[in-house]
Amino acid sequence: MTEVLTSLAIVAFLASVSEALVEFFVVPAWSKVKLDTFWLMYVGAAVAAGLVFLSGQNLLAGYLPPQLEIVGRVLTALLAGRGSNWVHDFFSAQRKTAVLASQRASILQMFEAGAGEEEADATVGGC
């Protein structure tokens, strides 16, 4: 059981590393040449899958016969590829939450200072 948990931790770490690599190296170049950002999730998935496959991690080693080790490694790599997208979604949501919290604090300060609703609407973009 601890072997599976160790492998899962390694897979999660490699998915995070791949997300960081794509965000640092690929996203700026992608933006520079104005490519469609929809395809970035597939780049991240491929990088994560490649890292995990090369690391030899196999989350299904205890459940598949040794002859099917490659199947376990491929499925683990695919899981990590999806995991890199999940890591990206998680951190994007955290950034959005921080921005919303900042806007909320600004609006509360404006109301405490006696500002009207018009100024508060302008703060959040007239929403």
Among 36-40, 65-69, 99-103, the least confident range: 99-103
pLDDT digits (tens, 9 = 90+) for 3-12: 888 888 888 8
The reported pLDDT for the residue numbered 70 is: 93
User: Are the beta carbons of 42 and 88 closer than 8 angstroms?
Assistant: no
Q: State how far the Cα of 116 lies from the Cα of 113, in Å rounded to an integer.
A: 9
pLDDT digits (tens, 9 = 90+) for 30-42: 999 999 888 888 8
The reported pLDDT for the residue numbered 121 is: 57
HEC-encoded secondary structure of the chain: CHHHHHHHHHHHHHHHHHHHHHHHHHHHHHHHCCCCHHHHHHHHHHHHHHHHHHHCCCCCCCCCCHHHHHHHHHHHHHHHHHHHHHHHHHHHHHHHHHHHHHHHHHHHHHHHCCCCHHHHHHHCCCC
Q: With a threshold of 0.85, does the pTM exceed it?
A: no
With 90 as the cut, is the pLDDT of residue 20 above it? no
The reported pLDDT for the residue numbered 95 is: 67
